[in-house]
Chain A
Amino acid sequence: MTPVAFLGQFGDAVDIILHKRESVAGGIQVGGSEWLTLIGEHLRISAVALAIACAIAIPLGLWLGHIGRGEFLASSFANIGRAVPTYALIAFFVAYIGIGFRNVALALTLLAIPPIFTNAYVGMRQVDRDTVDAGRGMGLTGWGIVRGIELPMALPILFGGIRISAVNVVATATLGPIAGVDDLGKPIINANVYGSSGRLAAAMIVALLAIGVELAFAGLQRAVTPKGLKLDDSAAGRRRRRLARPAPLPQTIAQRGGSTE
């Protein structure tokens, strides 16, 4: 494939984004303004799935993290969530429930829950216990601790999880046409109608969309990070943290010594 031919394909892909043209076998028009509809549908199903996943996973994860239960659930959820192929998940729903917007949204919601839940849980757990004790000393109880101390400190990690899920959902929504949802995956899966240029164009738009979502949520994550927590990521800062941390070898020996029964 010569460089010119390669660039030519991308040039043709940009053309099908900008102008409508006849489908591969003729008869219908594809491309042009149709992309807006496809992008809209893609964002719609992603937003719905993410919203439902947040509504389920955030309260559950924050609560379990606050009371300190459910460690096993959090870790196994994360592992299983990673191992189940998204394609198998969608296929499972097509086989058992059928095609349609609702079914794809359900599959995507299931996909989005593990990272949000795990990060909500871990975010709450990793709050410094001393700080929580200080809060208790100040007279805060239950909900006060959650709102004043744990939640603000857990937010960055929680939003990190939401960000991961958002990108995953946008990426997996590309499989929508398999289950009858006409989103940006349509030109990719139906290349016989849109042509290889249409397919390439869709791939380009999906990639840009995913990067856009990542940047948007990264910005959101930065916005909710309390000023004091914004990590000092310079080389000096890293060395400082490294020196401050106890060495693993002495630590484990001490642990062993301490845990003999």
Chain B
Amino acid sequence: MRPLVLAVVQLHDRTRNTCVNQNGFCPKWISDHIGDYLSPLWRHVELVVLSVAIGFALAFGLALLARRWQWLGAPISAVSGVLYTIPSLAAFFLLLPLTGFGLVTAVIVLVSYTLLILFRNITVGLQNVPGEVLDAARGMGLTSRELLWRVELPLAMPEIIAGLRIATTTTVGLAALAFFAGAGGLGEKINADITFKSNVVVAGLLCVLLAAVLDLMLVGLQRLAMPWRRAARA
């Protein structure tokens, strides 16, 4: 006698209309599956933080160079402007022959996107320091380096943080495309089921929330870094 297969895959009853098979916005499905979004969300955060940090470091260095040698300002702006104009999707695939699929390609493209806004805002912030303040500080005997770190940069903070906020929110939006370069992120979740309304809405909302949270953190950073402004407003 042939052995009876005692274990068998159960066929589910699909005759009833449920929220999910009617492709609606289903809170229960979302609460059941929200865990699936955590890993892509974390990868998204990694992409944004890494790219903005590296972009800031680069832009800061370039701004200092342009402060020292004024003629560098225009070419740096021009190059970062061109990088900014190239659509990120195209940029991923232009880099592909060189760096392949993965995190590196995505980060390089995202960094190049932040350069224009960060360089411009840091430079403008430094330029907007009033002449009298600089003269007064020099009169007090501050060296050029002390001038930069103790006078110019603190006064340039509003512009710099404004630039960081714009760069961060823009990068959150762009990082949704990073999965095209094989780097994961929330865009991958959207792509996994682009027709399922609940999925698209959750992944999109998580992006917007992430941008809002990071933006608020930067505003908080601004308040911390500039206590005199708080006093002025009081």
A interface residues, Cβ below 8 angstroms from B: 1, 5-6, 9-10, 79-80, 82-89, 91-92, 94-96, 167, 170-172, 174-175, 178, 185, 188, 196, 199-200, 202-204, 206-207, 210-211, 214, 235, 238-239, 242-243, 245-249, 252-253, 255-256
Contacts and interface: CB of A to CB of B under 8 A. Distances in A.
Contacts of B81: 214
A256 B234 CA distance: 8
B98 interface: yes
A247 B96 CA distance: 49
B232 A253 contact: yes
Contact of A85 (B86, B133, B196, B204): B204
Contacts of B186: 85, 88
B87 interface: yes
Chain B interface mostly: helix
A249 B89 contact: no
B194 A247 contact: no
A242 B190 contact: no
Contacts of A238: 127
Contacts of A206: 87, 89-90
Interface string B76-108: 000001100111111111101110100000000
19 contacts: A82-B211, A84-B173, A84-B208, A85-B175, A91-B191, A91-B194, A91-B200, A91-B204, A174-B87, A199-B93, A200-B94, A202-B93, A211-B85, A235-B70, A242-B128, A242-B131, A247-B132, A247-B133, A252-B232
Interface of B: 23, 70, 81-82, 85-94, 96-98, 100, 127-133, 155, 166, 169-170, 172-177, 186-187, 190-191, 194-197, 199-201, 203-204, 207-208, 211-212, 215, 229, 232-234
B166 A82 contact: yes
Given A6-B98, A245-B130, A174 B85 contact: no
Given A9-B97, A249-B133, A256-B232, 16 more contacts: A5-B97, A6-B97, A82-B170, A84-B204, A85-B173, A85-B207, A88-B200, A89-B204, A94-B200, A167-B85, A188-B89, A188-B90, A207-B94, A214-B81, A238-B127, A246-B130
B5 to A, nearest CB: 39
A204 B94 contact: yes
Contacts of B87: 170-172, 174, 206-207, 210
B211 A83 contact: yes
Contacts of A202: 90, 93
A180 to B, nearest CB: 12
A210 B94 CA distance: 14
